[in-house]
Amino acid sequence: MNADLSFETSLRQHGFRVTPQRRVILKAIWDNGEHASLADVLAAVQAVDANISPATVYRAIELFIERGLVIATRIGNQTVYEIASDHPHHHLICRVCGMDQKLDHARLRGLMDDIEQDYHFLVETEHLILLGLCAHCRPTAA
Protein backbone atom coordinates (compact mmCIF):
# COMPACT_ATOMS: atom_id res chain seq x y z
CA MET A 1 0.00 0.00 0.00
CA ASN A 2 1.30 3.39 -0.93
CA ALA A 3 2.19 5.21 2.28
CA ASP A 4 2.19 8.67 0.76
CA LEU A 5 -1.20 8.24 -0.82
CA SER A 6 -3.03 11.48 -0.88
CA PHE A 7 -6.73 11.11 -0.34
CA GLU A 8 -7.42 13.68 -2.97
CA THR A 9 -5.35 11.85 -5.58
CA SER A 10 -6.92 8.55 -4.68
CA LEU A 11 -10.42 9.96 -4.85
CA ARG A 12 -9.73 11.63 -8.19
CA GLN A 13 -8.14 8.49 -9.63
CA HIS A 14 -11.35 6.68 -8.84
CA GLY A 15 -13.39 9.32 -10.59
CA PHE A 16 -14.67 11.18 -7.56
CA ARG A 17 -15.31 14.79 -7.14
CA VAL A 18 -13.32 15.58 -4.00
CA THR A 19 -15.60 16.99 -1.36
CA PRO A 20 -14.47 17.70 2.18
CA GLN A 21 -17.03 15.19 3.47
CA ARG A 22 -15.78 12.41 1.23
CA ARG A 23 -12.23 13.14 2.30
CA VAL A 24 -13.19 12.87 5.98
CA ILE A 25 -15.10 9.63 5.39
CA LEU A 26 -12.32 7.98 3.39
CA LYS A 27 -9.72 9.10 5.91
CA ALA A 28 -11.77 7.55 8.73
CA ILE A 29 -11.63 4.17 6.97
CA TRP A 30 -7.95 4.65 6.12
CA ASP A 31 -6.95 5.61 9.65
CA ASN A 32 -8.74 2.63 11.12
CA GLY A 33 -6.18 0.45 9.32
CA GLU A 34 -8.18 -2.68 9.95
CA HIS A 35 -11.72 -3.74 9.44
CA ALA A 36 -13.94 -0.83 10.38
CA SER A 37 -17.60 -1.34 11.11
CA LEU A 38 -20.11 1.26 10.01
CA ALA A 39 -20.28 2.37 13.65
CA ASP A 40 -16.47 2.78 13.76
CA VAL A 41 -16.50 4.89 10.61
CA LEU A 42 -19.44 6.97 11.81
CA ALA A 43 -17.79 7.67 15.17
CA ALA A 44 -14.51 8.72 13.52
CA VAL A 45 -16.29 10.90 10.96
CA GLN A 46 -18.52 12.60 13.50
CA ALA A 47 -15.54 13.26 15.76
CA VAL A 48 -14.22 15.42 12.91
CA ASP A 49 -17.50 16.88 11.72
CA ALA A 50 -20.67 16.22 13.69
CA ASN A 51 -22.75 17.63 10.84
CA ILE A 52 -22.06 14.71 8.52
CA SER A 53 -25.13 12.49 8.74
CA PRO A 54 -25.07 8.69 8.94
CA ALA A 55 -26.91 8.58 5.60
CA THR A 56 -24.15 10.63 3.96
CA VAL A 57 -21.49 8.33 5.41
CA TYR A 58 -23.35 5.26 4.24
CA ARG A 59 -23.88 6.62 0.72
CA ALA A 60 -20.21 7.64 0.43
CA ILE A 61 -19.06 4.17 1.54
CA GLU A 62 -21.39 2.53 -1.00
CA LEU A 63 -19.85 4.72 -3.72
CA PHE A 64 -16.31 3.92 -2.57
CA ILE A 65 -17.14 0.21 -2.81
CA GLU A 66 -18.71 0.61 -6.25
CA ARG A 67 -15.57 2.34 -7.54
CA GLY A 68 -13.21 -0.21 -5.98
CA LEU A 69 -11.69 2.13 -3.42
CA VAL A 70 -13.05 0.28 -0.39
CA ILE A 71 -13.68 -3.43 0.21
CA ALA A 72 -16.72 -4.56 2.18
CA THR A 73 -16.48 -7.93 3.87
CA ARG A 74 -19.20 -9.78 5.69
CA ILE A 75 -17.91 -11.37 8.91
CA GLY A 76 -20.58 -13.21 10.86
CA ASN A 77 -23.53 -10.85 10.92
CA GLN A 78 -21.50 -7.68 10.52
CA THR A 79 -20.22 -5.90 7.45
CA VAL A 80 -16.79 -4.31 7.80
CA TYR A 81 -14.92 -1.93 5.56
CA GLU A 82 -11.30 -1.37 4.68
CA ILE A 83 -9.31 0.45 2.03
CA ALA A 84 -8.74 -1.74 -0.99
CA SER A 85 -5.02 -2.31 -1.17
CA ASP A 86 -3.04 -2.79 -4.34
CA HIS A 87 -2.06 -6.29 -3.32
CA PRO A 88 -4.34 -9.11 -2.33
CA HIS A 89 -4.40 -10.03 1.34
CA HIS A 90 -6.39 -12.25 3.65
CA HIS A 91 -7.50 -12.39 7.26
CA LEU A 92 -7.52 -14.81 10.14
CA ILE A 93 -10.56 -13.94 12.22
CA CYS A 94 -11.25 -15.39 15.67
CA ARG A 95 -14.93 -16.27 15.82
CA VAL A 96 -14.98 -15.83 19.61
CA CYS A 97 -13.15 -12.56 20.34
CA GLY A 98 -13.01 -11.11 16.83
CA MET A 99 -9.22 -10.93 16.69
CA ASP A 100 -8.28 -9.94 13.16
CA GLN A 101 -4.84 -10.93 11.89
CA LYS A 102 -3.91 -9.80 8.41
CA LEU A 103 -2.34 -12.52 6.29
CA ASP A 104 0.04 -11.74 3.48
CA HIS A 105 -0.96 -13.14 0.12
CA ALA A 106 2.48 -14.77 -0.16
CA ARG A 107 1.39 -17.20 2.55
CA LEU A 108 -1.33 -18.59 0.32
CA ARG A 109 0.37 -18.30 -3.04
CA GLY A 110 1.83 -21.80 -2.82
CA LEU A 111 -1.60 -23.26 -2.15
CA MET A 112 -3.12 -21.33 -5.01
CA ASP A 113 -0.34 -22.42 -7.38
CA ASP A 114 -0.95 -26.05 -6.36
CA ILE A 115 -4.65 -25.65 -7.02
CA GLU A 116 -3.96 -24.21 -10.43
CA GLN A 117 -1.62 -27.05 -11.29
CA ASP A 118 -3.74 -29.88 -9.90
CA TYR A 119 -7.20 -28.64 -10.83
CA HIS A 120 -6.38 -26.32 -13.74
CA PHE A 121 -8.32 -23.74 -11.82
CA LEU A 122 -7.05 -20.18 -11.52
CA VAL A 123 -8.02 -18.78 -8.11
CA GLU A 124 -8.99 -15.13 -8.32
CA THR A 125 -10.08 -14.65 -4.72
CA GLU A 126 -8.07 -11.74 -3.37
CA HIS A 127 -9.63 -11.37 0.06
CA LEU A 128 -10.12 -14.54 1.99
CA ILE A 129 -11.57 -14.67 5.50
CA LEU A 130 -10.43 -17.69 7.49
CA LEU A 131 -12.58 -18.15 10.58
CA GLY A 132 -11.26 -19.98 13.61
CA LEU A 133 -9.98 -19.67 17.15
CA CYS A 134 -7.04 -17.50 18.19
CA ALA A 135 -4.42 -18.74 20.66
CA HIS A 136 -6.22 -16.94 23.48
CA CYS A 137 -9.66 -18.41 22.78
CA ARG A 138 -8.52 -21.90 22.00
CA PRO A 139 -9.38 -24.33 24.76
CA THR A 140 -6.11 -25.32 26.36
CA ALA A 141 -7.33 -28.69 27.62
CA ALA A 142 -7.47 -31.25 24.85
Chain residues in the site for Zn ion (CB under 5 A)? 82, 94, 96-97, 99, 134, 137
Considering the complex, what minimum distance in angstroms separates the CB of residue 129 from Zn ion?
A: 8
The side-by-side arrangement of strands in the sheet containing 36-37 is: 36-37, 78-83, 70-75
Stated as kind and residue range, the H or E segment containing 54 is helix 54-66
Closer to Zn ion by Cβ: residue 18 or 92: 92
Considering the complex, what minimum distance in angstroms separates the CB of residue 8 from Zn ion?
A: 24
Could you give the CA distance from residue 100 to residue 9 in angstroms, rounded to a whole number? 29
Considering the complex, what minimum distance in angstroms separates the CB of residue 36 from Zn ion?
A: 11
Closer to Zn ion by Cβ: residue 51 or 77: 77
Could you give the CA distance from residue 129 to residue 94 in angstroms, rounded to a whole number? 10
Closer to Zn ion by Cβ: residue 63 or 92: 92
